[in-house]
């Protein structure tokens, strides 16, 4: 199959979403950390928070970030050392935290985690690879202790032999969950092409949704390339890839399916590339899997915003908003609204939350994708390119 390579360019709308969600993620994680480590007599010191700047993905110091939101974070001198700055949560901040915690505890995050473990070759992952994905999957902060006790038939915590790694493993393989997001969508709302297939062809090729810039979807070269790609059999990401030639086009489509399913499991349909790199061996991904994102820009968007690399599932967004917003994602969007407007309650009544009001206008930019691609057709293998390090 001829490989049409579309060069990467910026997408202003998706970059704006990543910029906005980075601040929201940092705010939510700081609310959670300060709420768990602060008491009335011992607020947390600012220097203990400054070490999390890189982990939070902030491009400014944590202290400056906290001071931007005095309605959520309260700065005060230390009770014993007045020269030391400390932070605690305000009453509105505590109220927001309780809403986030209750929503995360009652969501379907355990099913998302189970599907992620089902994608892995060993049906297990070290906690060092799971913790970075906790926010993206919507997991509660204590999932390592609550999930094994609440769902003992699904999860267990153990230590690997000859290693100090603590891993979370899948106890049973629920076959009813081994249906990919793409397969479920085709079964629930089949396309015209699917309706023409006989009932016995459920394993026939499935088409990935493509969102090219204006004009590119109608180009003959791109259409021919995508027709050949979609004619290849669709291999479920939950199926065993043993026996597939690692250098074949079929394996490449299987890799696209795995990455598509992984991003579909996330709350915001995006995650950082470095988080995926920690799962590379378990997901049976090639060493240079990053080229998949740039080779299929109709499916993925590869962003360099916020001094990091983020991968976005294009079909998950429409005009700057999630197509199928998760309840936790909707709550986080309202938290971002509180961050921007500095308004949490009305009429001096903490029970009348703006978080519960849907009539507040959201001023997010809804610009269409503004981008251009250049075509590069190659018959053979692409030139080897080393993945950039963040």
What residues pair up with 4 in beta bridges, in sequence order? Answer: 377
What average pLDDT does the segment 201-222 reach? 66
Which of the residue ranges 3-17, 29-43, 266-280 would you say has the lowest mean pLDDT?
3-17
Confidence tier at 259 by pLDDT (50, 70, 90): very high
pLDDT of residue 338: 87
Check if the beta carbon of residue 298 is closer than 8 Å to that of residue 260.
no
In tens, the pLDDT along 44-85 reads 888 889 888 888 888 899 999 999 998 899 998 887 777 888
Check if the beta carbon of residue 71 is closer than 8 Å to that of residue 78.
no
In tens, the pLDDT along 182-207 reads 999 888 765 544 444 443 333 446 78
Quick one: residue 79, left, alpha or beta (phi over 0 = left, psi -120 to 50 = alpha)?
alpha
The overall average pLDDT reported for the chain is 81
pTM, entire model: 0.85
Going by the DSSP 8-state scheme, the letter that residue 43 receives in this structure is: P
Q: Cα–Cα distance between 227 and 262 in angstroms, integer? A: 24
Domains and CATH numbers, the chain: 14-103+327-356 (1.10.10.10), 108-174 (3.90.1150), 180-319 (no CATH)
In tens, the pLDDT along 301-334 reads 999 888 889 999 999 999 889 999 999 999 999 8
**Among candidate residues 78, 66, 61, 77, the one with its CA nearest the CA of residue 34:** 66
């Amino acid at each position: 199959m001829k490989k049409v390579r579309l060069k990467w360019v910026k997408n202003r709308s998706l970059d704006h979403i990543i910029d906005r969600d980075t601040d929201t993620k940092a705010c939510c994680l700081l609310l959670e950390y300060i709420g768990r480590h602060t008491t009335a007599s011992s607020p947390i010191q600012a220097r203990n928070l400054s070490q999390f700047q890189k982990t939070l993905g902030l491009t400014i110091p944590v202290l400056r970030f906290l001071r931007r939101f005095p309605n959520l974070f309260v700065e005060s001198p230390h009770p014993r050392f007045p020269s030391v700055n400390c932070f605690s949560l305000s009453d509105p901040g505590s109220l927001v935290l309780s809403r986030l915690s209750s929503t995360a505890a009652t969501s379907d995050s355990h099913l998302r985690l189970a599907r992620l473990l089902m994608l892995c070759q060993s049906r297990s992952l070290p906690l060092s690879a799971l913790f970075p994905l906790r926010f993206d999957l919507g997991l509660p902060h204590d999932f390592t202790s609550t999930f094994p006790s609440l769902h003992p038939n699904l999860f267990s915590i153990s230590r690997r032999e000859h290693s100090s790694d603590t891993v979370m493993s899948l106890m049973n393989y629920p076959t009813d969950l081994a249906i990919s997001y793409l397969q479920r969508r085709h079964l629930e709302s089949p396309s015209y092409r699917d309706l023409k297939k006989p009932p016995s062809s459920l394993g026939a090729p499935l088409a990935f949704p493509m969102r090219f810039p204006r004009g590119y979807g109608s180009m003959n070269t791109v259409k021919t390339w995508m027709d050949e790609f979609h004619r290849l059999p669709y291999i479920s990401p939950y199926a065993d890839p043993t026996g597939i030639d690692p250098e074949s086009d079929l394996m490449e489509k299987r890799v696209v399916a795995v990455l598509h399913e992984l991003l579909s499991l996330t709350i915001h349909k995006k995650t950082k590339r470095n988080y995926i790199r920690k799962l590379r061996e378990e997901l049976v991904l090639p060493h240079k899997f990053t080229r998949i994102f740039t080779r299929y820009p109709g499916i993925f968007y590869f962003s360099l915003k916020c001094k990091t690399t983020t991968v976005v599932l294009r079909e998950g967004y429409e005009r700057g908003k999630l197509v199928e917003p998760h309840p936790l994602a909707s709550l986080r969007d309202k938290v971002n609204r509180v961050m921007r407007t500095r308004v949490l309650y009305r009429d001096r009544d903490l029970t009348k939350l703006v978080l519960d009001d849907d009539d507040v206008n959201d001023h997010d930019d809804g610009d269409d994708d503004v981008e251009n691609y250049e075509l590069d057709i190659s018959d053979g293998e692409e030139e080897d390119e080393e993945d950039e390090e963040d």
